[in-house]
Each structure stands twice: as structure tokens, then as C-alpha cells.
Amino acid sequence: MLQRLEHLLGIEDLTREQISFILDQAKPFQEFQRHPLKKLATLRGKTVAIAFFENSTRTRISFSTAAARLGADTMNLQAEASSLKKGESLLDTVRTLEAMRPDGLVIRHSSSGAPEFVADRLGVPVINAGDGTHEHPTQALLDALTIRDRKGHLEGWNLTILGDVLHSRVARSNVHLLSKFGVRITLCGPAMWVPRELETLAPNVRRVTRVEEALDGADVIIALRVQTERLHEPALAAEEYILRYQLTPQRLQLARPGALVLHPGPMIRGLEIDGAVADGPQSCVLEQVANGLAIRMALLYHLVGGAAVEPPPAKPPEKAQ
Amino acid sequence: MPTTNDRLLLIKNGRVIDPATKTDATNDVLLDGVRTAKIGTGLSAPDAEIFDASGMIVAPGFIDLHCHLREPGQEMSETIETGARSAARGGFTAVCCMPNTQPVNDNASVTRSIVERAAAADTVQVWPIGAASVGSKGEALAEIAAMKDAGIVAVSDDGKSVATARLMRQVMDYCNSLDLPVIDHCEDPSLFAGGVMREGPRSVRLGLKGIPAQSESICAGRDVELAVLTRARLHIAHLSTTGALEYVRHAKKLGVRVTCEVAPHHFTLCDEDVRYDTNYKMNPPLASRADRTALIAGIADGAVDAIATDHAPHHPASKDVEFDRAPFGIIGFETALALTLSELFHTGKISITRLVELFTTGPARVLGSERKIAVGSPADLTIFSTDLAWTYRASESPSKSRNTPFDGRAFRGAPVATIVGGRIVYRRELGATA
């Protein structure tokens, strides 16, 4: 029997069964995105608070759209517009949101551990939409869904994650998730962005600093954004990164034929990835965006809806609500 | 000195342990209010208050070399009075308070105000530590000689290292001429670089910015070299890394006057224990498991001179925030002895005499003084049990702060009475379990 999730704070503590369950739950919502009238009544009357304490457009829009398509209302809080600038603590801010009785809270924060801090102190389900350099669980789930759809299953592939792994919450969540399915993971980037300690994150993780070695035999490649704004270290010259690590068509040849290319976005063409690769047949970038909606709908349905709401449709509904 | 308190206190049948006189014997101790009047078996004094110490250890008064009492300036978190009462509950008869108050204790008038407030609190002795540089900013020397006249026992820019090797050299030269120890918070700011926990597998997993161990050891190496140069007395505060400990060992082999202290949380916990709970955030951060093992070895073999709490109170609201935004530090007076007993004595790593030394003669030597139980010595004693079972409740502390990872922890062994100037300033209520 699958244990019911209370929150989604990270991938690390999920079981393989829980992850498969979430991916399975997303299937009907994938199909639903193709329907001309995209509105369900599943979460009608429910309210989802979406609190972003760090700049983001894509993830915030994805969660808002997912909630809207389930029929939920949303309360949006953005750091710029909030009282944080006036010195209010995170705890006071989220307690204020809680007093308006939301049924769930989606939170993004620049401090690692902030979603857990909030979940320990509030009485509503919390979904981590990315915390500091810790985890970004919904990104890893949508990546897994994308890989599973394209390749039929997750087990046994060779995955290469390329870029600034140290500062990447996307990389950590993907390592935790895919390692549970026996994926062999290679982390590659300039040495100071790939500390050896990353090999202790999960089983079957290795660190490589030469991109050619990292790509050899890869079935899936995740190119990370070079997050210059998050770096405390002196930044590496962009030219140096491009020269040694950019994912180019030539380098992609080193991977297995038909290897998938994923990118969590926002993508900087010409820096971490060549435009020809980003737009090529192996790229999954736009499927990732679509799958993000399905994963987030499935999670909101599961965590915010609870047992009281009607099940999601097996097929898209014939009529709008 | 005139006797202001002629009340007699007779401590009966305690196991008197005094590393200074190499005593370990069941004895009675008679205090005449200020001094130790008699030591022996079968003592009687008809007018004396009797304290039955059967089954307990009677030790010289414990000294804490390192605490933060937050007064003046941060009275929301602690005052000299509340801190002193918490220290008494921890068995300490004297505590040395760091100068990073607001204003910084960098001149004699701040020192005098601390001494006056401590006298008014009338609990344990409070020995101020003066800043090494003005405002602890690392630019110009503070008024160290004037502060010494007002009562400081050491100097330190604790909270950070003395900014440059050149200034540190001047501080050490000057303090050497004044016969004051320099207490050194070792930290290389460029390596520290906004980190919040020890760099290692755990920091990478949690996505928390790491501080490499070398942030401490590089600075310890610098200052040991300067101790060789200046021949001054250097004391490394809250030492937490193998590398820094090796520099201390090296200095001791050379015969340079370098000492060090270790905090109870550093020999009890390690970085693997860190969670998103700000009670696990302190500076220096919890070290690696291997470093912790090295610290315990140093405590056992004598490389470490003292156990010091680094009691660092922070008002609850300031700690109830995101991990990377919280201030560093935890409170520590009331758990120090119990952690040492539980982690080091009951596990067989150190003897009871060594334990007493780490809280008494060890820190006294760092300050250039002595601590002993002898006729004529000050009537400051710590009486404790090695076996009393109890559970620490931070909510019962007289401290104004509650920031501790040890709340709710069950212990074996505790302070039973704290005696300062012949007067019992703290006495544990003993239930049936005693």
C-alpha cells in the first residue's frame, strides 16, 4: 500500500514506488493538455497559495496554470511585492497566508531548507518549487516523465548532467530520483562546480571533468544553465566554458545514437548549449515544459485534493464545466 | 581582604578531586565565607551550615573561558544577570565573557560597566575579555592596558580573527608586555565566504554553503607562527579541526606558549548531524566525524587545555528563520558538564581527574592563574554527581534564550551545587532518583 504523501519537500526521501505512482498519476493529465477546453472542476472550491520568494517566471506560471486547470483558485505572493522588503520574517509571511485558509502552499525560496521550515510550522500541504541549492523535486519528476515517455522506462540508462552541478538543485533532485531506478549518473563540469562530495549523494554517481569522457555512452544528457547570478566564487570566463563544456552537435555524437537532451530552462543558447542541439530531434525541451504541467496537476490533485475530491478523468471530458 | 561573610559552610563526605594538588580522597571541606578554612576527615563546626556531599564529587570552582552574555546592547537575548544564573546552574563559578557586545568592550568604561553589573548580579564571577582592536574592526589597537586595570583577563576579537597578521603581531607583542593571553578566533574570511556549515558531503547534500576546515587551520597556523615570533601567550578558542589541533601540538612541542579549548558541541556532534534546524548552526561549524575523533583524542592526551562552552544566546525569534539567515551559536552553560560526562567520562575516554582539570586548572592556566582546593584558597567549589539521571529542559533555563540542539536530551551526571565565595549560588533540587 502506497503511503500517502503529506508534502513534497524533495526527492531524496521518496521511495521508488512513490515516484512511479506520481508519474502514473500524471498520465491522464498529459492527455488532458491536448483538449481544446482545459478546465476541470476537480479542485473547485480549493485554494492554492503560490509563494515565490525568488525570481521565477516559468515554474510560477506552470504551477498557476496547473491549479487553474484543476479548477482551484490561487493566491499569489511574490517577494518583490510582499512585506519581506519591509523586514517581515518568512514565518510571519507564511502564517499570514495560512490565515487566509489555503488548501496547499507552493513555495520557492533562495534558502535551502525553507520549504521544510515552513512545512514543520504550518498545517497545510507544502510543495517545494525549488529551494536554494537543495532540491527542485517537480523538475526531476517532469524530467523522469519525459525520459520514461521517450525511452519506455527509466531503469538502466546512462545519464550525464553537464554544468554547474554544485549550485544546481535540479541536478540534486535528478540524481536522487534516477539513482533510485538504477540509472548510472555522470556529473561533469569545471572542477570547482563538481566537488567530489557529489559522488556521495546517491549510489552509481561519478564525477568527470572532461566532457568527452562524460558524454561517451550517454543515453540521456541534462545540460544545466550556467547560473552566474548564484555564484559566490569568482565566475569562470564564459569563453572558457563554451570552449570546454558547451553541448555542441560534435560532442553530442559521442553519446549513444538517439540520446535525449534535456534542459531545465531558462536556456542560454550559445553558452551551455548550441542552438542546433537545442532545436534538434534529440532535444526534449518543449516536452519538458508540457510535462511540467501534467506533473504539477497530478501533485496538486494528490496533495491538495486529498481523498474528498473526485478522481481525475481517464479521458479528457467531452464538455467544459 | 576583610571577611564580609563569616557564615560557615561545611561540605561533608564528598570525594574531593583537585588536579592541582593531585588529591582524590573522601574529605570534609570547611569554608569560612571567603576562604577554604579546613580540609580533613570528620570535621565539625557547630555553627556551620552542613552540605552532605556523600556520593558526589567536590571540585575546585569551574571556569568557563568562553561565553557571550550580550550585555550591554543585546539584552533581548541575555543579560549578565540571566547569563550568570544559567552559568551557576551549569556548575560554573566564573565565566569569561567575550567583548562582542554593543558597544564592543574595547575601552575601560565598558569593562567597568560589565564588572559593576556582574557585582550587582552577585551570582558567579564574571571576568570580561577585552577587544584586541577598536570595535573589533581589525584596524587599531584597543585600550588594552586601561581595560586590564578595569578588570579584563584576556583580549580577543572573537566572532572573527584579528584581521591581519601585522595587527595580530602587534596585539601579541603588546599583550605579552601586559601579561595577558590573546584568545584567537581562527577564521580566514576569504575561505569562510558566507558559509553556514562545514564543507563536506553533508553540506553538498543539503545545498548549504560550506566552510572548509582550512578556514580555521590556516589562521591557526598563522597565529602559531606569530606566537613563535612574539613569544606571547596565544589561546585558540573553540578549536574544531584536526589541522588547527596539529598546529597547537607543534607549538607545544616547540615550547611556545600556545593553548586551546574545545566546546562540548564539537566533541558531541558532527556535520552529519546537521539538519535544517538553526540549533545546529554555530561558528566554528560542527566538524567532520574524523575531526571530532581527533578532538576527543586531543582532550584525552592533554593537547587540549580546557573545555569552554561558547555559550551564545540568541533570542528565539532571531533563530526561528531560514538556516542560512540565522545567527551562529547555541547556549551551553547547563549542558557542558553533562555532555562531558556522557560523551567522554562514561565512555571511558577520560578519567574523572582529567575531566575536572579541563574545567578548573586547565582554564586557570590559560589565564595565568591557579585553581585548587587548599587551606586559604578561594571558597569557590563545584559539586557534581557523575550518575544523577536527568533530562535537560531548555524551557527551565534562567537564560533568556533557548537555542540548543540538546533540549530534551537525557543525561547521566549533573552539577549539584555551585559555591561562590563560600555561598551556595545554585543548588539542584534532588528528587528520589538522587
* B206 with A109: Cβ contact below 8 A: no
Nearest to A90 among B206, B208, B322 (CB): B322
Share of residues in chain A with pLDDT > 70 (%): 90
Burial classification of residue A78, based on how many CB atoms lie within 10 Å of its CB (0-12 exposed, 13-18 middle, 19 or more buried): middle
> How much helix, strand and coil, in percent to the nearest 5, is found in chain B?
35, 25, 40
pLDDT higher at A318 or B59: B59
What CA–CA distance (Å, rounded) separates B149 from B161?
A: 24
The answer as to whether B2 is a domain residue is: no
Please give the grid coordinates belonging to residue A57: 517566471
Do B395 and B281 share a structural domain? no
Q: Do B322 and A117 touch (CB under 8 A)?
A: yes
Q: How far is B275 from chain A (nearest CA, A)?
A: 9
Q: How many CB pairs under 8 A join A and B?
A: 60
Residue A244, C-alpha cell as written in the block: 570546454
B395 and B280 part of one domain = no
Q: How confident is the model at residue B117 (pLDDT cuts 50, 70, 90)?
A: very high
**pLDDT given at position B153:** 98
Residues of chain B with Cβ-Cβ distance to A12 below 8 Å are: 205
Q: Do A198 and B204 touch (CB under 8 A)?
A: yes
Mean pLDDT of all residues belonging to chain B: 96
Question: Nearest to residue B64, comparing CAs of B86, B99, B97?
Answer: B97
Compute how many other C-beta atoms are within 10 angstroms of the C-beta atom of residue B219: 26
Query: Complex ipTM, two decimals?
Result: 0.92
Q: Is the CB of residue A109 less than 8 Å away from at least one CB of chain B?
A: yes
Minimal Cα distance from B191: which residue of A? A233
Question: Among A314-318, B162-166, B307-311, which range has the highest average pLDDT?
Answer: B307-311
Q: Which of B301, B310, B320, B324 is catalytic?
A: B310
pLDDT tops 90 at residue B226 = yes
- Claim to verify: residue B311 and residue B203 sit in the same structural domain: yes
Enclosing domain of residue B14: 9-58+376-427
Contact A202, A181 (CB under 8 A): no
Q: Is residue A315 domain-resident?
A: no
**Residue A282 φ/ψ region, left for φ over 0, alpha for ψ in the -120 to 50 degree band, beta for the rest:** alpha
CB pair distance less than 8 Å for B207 and A117: no
Q: How far apart (Å, rounded) are the C-alpha atoms in residues A53 and A136?
A: 14
How far the first Cα of chain B sits from its last, in Å, is 38
- Tell me whether residue B432 is in a domain: no
- Per the structure, how many domains does chain B have? 2
- In this complex, do B194 and A232 lie within 8 Å of one another by their Cβ atoms? yes
Q: Which domain holds residue A66?
A: 16-135+289-308
Query: Any CB–CB contact under 8 A between A193 and chain B?
Result: no
Determine the pLDDT at residue B403: 98
Q: pLDDT per residue over A63-73, tens digit each?
A: 999 999 999 99
> A258-303: per-residue pLDDT in tens?
999 999 999 999 999 999 999 999 999 999 999 999 999 999 999 9
Taking 70 as the threshold, does the pLDDT of residue B433 lie above it? Answer: no
* CATH code where residue B294 lies: 3.20.20.140
B344/B400 same-domain check: no
Measured between beta carbons, the chain B residues lying within 8 angstroms of A195 are 204
Distance from CA of A29 to the nearest CA of B (A): 32
- CA dist B40 and B44 (Å) reads 10
Chain B contacts of A114, Cβ < 8 Å? Answer: 322
pLDDT range class, residue A238, cuts 50, 70, 90? confident
pLDDT above 80 (res A306): no
- A182 assigned to some structural domain: yes
Same domain, yes or no: A131 and A145: no
Query: Which chain B residue has the Cα nearest residue A202?
Result: B205
pLDDT at A229 over 80: no
Predicted pLDDT of residue A239: 87
Q: Do A132 and B193 touch (CB under 8 A)?
A: no
**Sequence-separated (6 or more) residues with CB below 8 Å from residue B396:** none
Mean pLDDT for the stretch of residues A118-142: 97
Burial letters for A215-236: b for 16+ Cβ neighbours within 10 Å, e otherwise?
Answer: beebbbbbbbbbbeebeeeeeb
Residues B252, B362 share a domain: yes
Residues B153, B265: one domain? yes
- What is the pLDDT confidence band of residue B203, given thresholds at 50, 70 and 90? very high
Is B401 within the bounds of a domain? yes
Q: Which of B204, B208, B315, B325 to mutate to test the interface with A (most CBs of A within 10 A)?
A: B204
Give the H/E segment covering residue B266: helix B264-268
Are A119 and A225 members of one domain? no
Q: Is the pLDDT of residue B357 over 80?
A: yes
- Taking CA atoms, what residue in A is nearest to B275? A113
Q: Domain check: are B217 and B271 in the same one?
A: yes
Residue A84's pLDDT is 62
B47 is known as an active-site residue: no
pLDDT above 70 (res B274): yes
Confidence of residue A226 (pLDDT cuts 50, 70, 90): confident
Q: Is A89 an interface residue toward B (CB < 8 Å)?
A: yes
A77–chain B Cβ distance below 8 A for any pair: no
What would the pLDDT profile of B141-183 be if each residue is shown by its tens digit?
A: 999 999 999 999 999 999 999 989 999 999 999 999 999 999 9
Cell 578549536 locates to B239
pLDDT of A159 > 90? The answer is yes
Residues of A within 8 A of B324 (CB-CB) are: 111-112, 132
For position A102, which CATH number holds? Answer: 3.40.50.1370
Judged by CB atoms closer than 8 Å, whether chains meet at A197 and B200 is answered as: yes
Asked whether the predicted pLDDT for residue B282 surpasses 50, the reply is yes
Cβ-count burial A37-54 (b if 16+ within 10 Å, e if not):
eeebebbeebbbbbbbbb
For position A314, what pLDDT does the model report? 56
Residue B49 shares a structural domain with residue B140: no
Specify the number of domains making up chain A: 2
Q: For residue A101, give the C-alpha cell.
A: 485558509
Q: What is the pLDDT of residues B120-138, one digit of tens each?
A: 999 999 999 999 999 999 9
DSSP codes, A24-78: HHHHHHHHHTTSSS----TTTT-EEEEEESS--SHHHHHHHHHHHHTT-EEEEEE
Q: List chain A residues with CB under 8 Å of B200.
A: 197
User: Whole-model pTM?
Assistant: 0.93
